[in-house]
Amino acid sequence: MARSHSFTHAITRKPSVSITAGLRAVDIGTPDLALMQAHHADYIAALRSTGAEVIELAALEAYPDSVFVEDTALCLPEGAVIMRPGAPSRLGEAAEMAPHLRALYGNVVQIVGADSFIEGGDILMTETEILVGRSARTNAAGIAELTHRVAPWGETVREVFTPPGVLHFKTDCSLLDAETILSTTRLSASGCFKAYRVINVAEGEEACANAIRFNDLVLMPAGFPRTRDSLLTAGYHIHEIGNSECAKLDGGMSCLSLRFTPKP
């Protein structure tokens, strides 16, 4: 089983009514909750269509951004790491996720340093390494602590850099298979993926770089036909999901789930 894209489980969280107060880099409109809920249901159905068990957690009204569960943890084959989000309003989300992961994993550790900040959206796991992008939400101390926490599991962490003005490292990239990364040109040009095959998104379609490979499917946001067609030509099975409302909060496909195979 490929650890980076073959999974038995996923965790999602229902969007809260308070989502309209979610964080955003640029205000491009208030999310439509009903439409977001419909897109979210499509997302969950796509995950389940692969045979995976999807755990749907209840909405957390106290945390407007809590639908974006990926930022709260890193789930690895040997255990899970509870993150320490760089946005102060999101610190409590990680604590809310911890008991759910402890119920599934025998080994759960936590980022605890007062100066350590790290979010799952900055972390790309491949078959051979964990790439972590330093960003406005993930700092050097957070990356150093993660490196320390996962070393006993035989994991290698490589620090890379998120492009200026980009929220998370995975805003601009995603894993397609063990050898292949989908990336924006501005990120791949940095050379951080030189050990991988890279498929660049079409010019003007940078917003679809955040996709996920989940078992036999690549879930990508709808509305990016040139990139979709290039992935179909490359032999991937594509499932398009509406993402217009999450995009208003800087969210994408990977943000909406934790994807893993638990080790009791």
In the annotation, is 173 catalytic? no
Residue 69 structure tokens:
């569960």
CA angle at 121 for the pair 259 and 211, rounded to the nearest 5°: 65
> What is the torsion angle, in degrees rounded to the nearest 10, for the CA atoms of residue 116, residue 11, residue 253 and residue 225?
160
**One of 39, 100, 168, 239 is an active-site residue; which one?**
168
**One of 75, 173, 246, 255 is an active-site residue; which one?**
255
Amino acid at 177: D
In the annotation, is 100 catalytic? no
DSSP string, 190-205: TTTTTTSEEEEPPTT-
Nearest to 162, CA basis, from 178, 179, 186 = 186
Neighbours of 177 (CB within 10 A): 18
In the three-class reduction of DSSP (H, G, I as helix; E, B as strand; rest coil), residue 113 is classed as coil
Catalytic residues: 168, 255
